């Protein structure tokens, strides 16, 4: 016998938890369905843990809008909920004269997007801020920060549960069907069940397309292809030579091997994206030589033997290699014709930063 619920959120990553929180705080009855045995085990816990400012994204895109709004909301949320974070700042660097025009475009794009605190840096100014960085020019982003992503997810989950939401771990969606009155989900796990849902949010991240294809009635043409990009992160032995995050001028649709610093002071270099055909987190140590070359472009004093394998993370892409990076894809009834269903695809960076804004957007789509 099926159990009736108001709203099911599929996926307990940072975005799914933010959405569940927003819906619960609007008075919706929410069940969070997570296939793994813990929340946030994939993209949400395998990233750079950066609060992005909103610089790079096309004007008017969901990424630009949600990142700028989400960043402001996230700093306020972290301060009010004791989530560890630090407004550490970031410097984007040009290591050659032919990159300066791109650097200037970044600044102009960021300002157009509403990032109003960017500062152009000459080589001497950059050297004063970051003496170990070799570059001919830079742009300082003071509002870029770092965050404890697990602490953020705990806070989102706590808020959701305080407003009546329930988390069901090890509860994968096995099948689904759209009927005239509900979206019916068949849930696996130790205690299989059938849920008749008034609303469903598919925030399954790496598996969002697979989940959408399991629900009979979702038009196949609305489900984008699935691609996986794996990023490797190396850590630096010893004390940090940097006080801020360092990002080189981007290559193609990613930001190169950049410097992030976690809240414990550990320097990480990454993500050095590559393409894979399945979710596989194995670390390829043969990439070390390429890391050393890329890092020495802006940090020439990097010593041999100081990089250590860190971890990998996988981004849920909806485009393949050498294709332009698309916007977040959030499909509501207008796109697929199904009342009460929202599918989220390609929610990668800046998904963590954007999570409060994405949550409000999805909740508005489902507002009865």
| pLDDT tens-place string over residues 274-287 | 999 999 999 999 99
Same domain for 284 and 257: yes
Same domain for 304 and 164: no
Same domain for 173 and 134: no
How many structural domains compose the chain? 2
For the chain, give the percent of residues with pLDDT over 90.
Answer: 94
Same domain for 306 and 157: no
Whether 60 is covered by a domain: the verdict is no
Average pLDDT over residues 257-280: 94
Whether 73 is covered by a domain: the verdict is no
User: pLDDT-based confidence at 249, cuts 50/70/90?
Assistant: very high
Question: CATH no. for residue 261?
Answer: 3.30.9.10
Taking 90 as the threshold, does the pLDDT of residue 253 lie above it? Answer: no
Same domain for 260 and 278: yes
Tokens (6 digits) for 62: 């969901």
Same domain for 220 and 348: yes
pLDDT, residue 256, reads 77
User: pLDDT-based confidence at 353, cuts 50/70/90?
Assistant: very high
Taking 90 as the threshold, does the pLDDT of residue 367 lie above it? Answer: no
Give the structural domain span for 132. Answer: 90-142+227-317
Lowest-confidence pick of 2-6, 12-16, 191-195, 364-368: 364-368
Closest CA to 17 of 183, 218, 151, 178: 151
Same domain for 300 and 231: yes
Whether 81 is covered by a domain: the verdict is no
pLDDT, residue 255, reads 54
Lowest-confidence pick of 166-175, 243-252, 345-354: 243-252
Whether 239 is covered by a domain: the verdict is yes
Taking 60 as the threshold, does the pLDDT of residue 252 lie above it? Answer: no
Domain boundary among 317, 337, 355: 317
User: What's this model's pTM, rounded to 2 decimal places?
Assistant: 0.97
What are 24-43's pLDDT values in tens digits? 999 999 999 999 999 999 99
Question: CATH no. for residue 29?
Answer: 3.50.50.60
Whether 74 is covered by a domain: the verdict is no
Taking 70 as the threshold, does the pLDDT of residue 251 lie above it? Answer: no
Same domain for 284 and 235: yes
What are 76-120's pLDDT values in tens digits? 999 999 999 999 999 999 999 999 999 999 999 999 999 999 999
For the chain, give the percent of residues with pLDDT over 70.
Answer: 98
Whether 343 is covered by a domain: the verdict is yes
Same domain for 162 and 176: yes
Same domain for 155 and 185: yes
pLDDT, residue 22, reads 98
Same domain for 137 and 238: yes
Whether 127 is covered by a domain: the verdict is yes
What are 144-194's pLDDT values in tens digits? 999 999 999 999 999 999 999 999 999 999 999 999 889 999 999 998 999
pLDDT, residue 250, reads 76
What are 194-203's pLDDT values in tens digits? 999 999 999 9
What are 336-349's pLDDT values in tens digits? 999 999 999 999 99
Same domain for 310 and 259: yes
Whether 300 is covered by a domain: the verdict is yes
Average pLDDT over residues 196-219: 98
pLDDT, residue 33, reads 98
Tell me the C-alpha distance between 259 and 280, whole Å. Answer: 24
Say if residues 10 and 203 touch (Cβ distance below 8 Å).
yes
User: pLDDT-based confidence at 368, cuts 50/70/90?
Assistant: low
């Amino acid at each position: 016998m099926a159990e009736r619920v108001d709203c099911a959120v599929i996926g307990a990553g940072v975005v799914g938890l933010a959405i569940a929180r927003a819906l619960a705080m609007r008075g919706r009855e929410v069940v969070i369905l997570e296939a793994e045995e813990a929340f946030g085990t994939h993209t949400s816990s395998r990233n750079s843990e950066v609060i992005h400012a909103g610089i790079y994204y096309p004007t008017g895109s969901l990424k630009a809008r949600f990142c700028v709004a989400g960043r402001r909301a996230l700093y306020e949320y972290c301060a009010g909920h004791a989530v560890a974070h630090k407004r550490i700042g970031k410097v984007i660097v040009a290591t050659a004269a032919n990159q300066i025009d791109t650097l200037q475009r970044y600044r102009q794009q960021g300002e157009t997007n509403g990032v109003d605190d960017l500062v152009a840096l000459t080589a001497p100014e950059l050297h004063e801020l970051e003496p170990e960085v070799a570059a001919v020019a830079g742009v300082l982003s003071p509002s870029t920060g770092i965050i404890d992503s697990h602490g953020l997810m705990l806070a989102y989950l706590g808020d959701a549960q305080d407003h009546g939401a329930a988390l069901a771990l090890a509860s994968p969606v096995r099948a689904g069907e759209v009927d005239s009155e509900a979206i019916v989900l068949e849930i696996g796990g130790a205690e299989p069940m059938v849920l008749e849902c008034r609303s469903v949010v598919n925030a399954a991240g790496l598996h969002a397309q697979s989940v959408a294809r399991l629900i009979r009635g979702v038009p196949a043409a609305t489900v984008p292809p699935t691609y996986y990009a794996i990023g490797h992160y190396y850590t630096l032995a010893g004390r940090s030579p940097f006080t801020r995050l360092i990002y080189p001028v981007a290559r193609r649709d990613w930001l190169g091997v950049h410097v992030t610093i976690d809240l414990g002071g550990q320097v990480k270099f990454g993500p050095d994206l590559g393409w894979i055909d399945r979710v596989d987190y194995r670390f390829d140590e043969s990439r070390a030589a390429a890391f050393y070359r890329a890092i020495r472009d802006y940090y020439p004093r990097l010593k041999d033997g100081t990089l250590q394998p860190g971890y990998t993370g996988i981004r849920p892409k909806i485009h393949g290699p050498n294709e332009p990076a698309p916007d977040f894809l959030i499909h509501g009834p207008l796109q697929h014709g199904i009342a009460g269903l929202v599918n989220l695809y390609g929610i990668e960076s800046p998904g963590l930063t954007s999570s409060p804004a994405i949550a409000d957007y999805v909740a508005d789509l489902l507002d009865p």
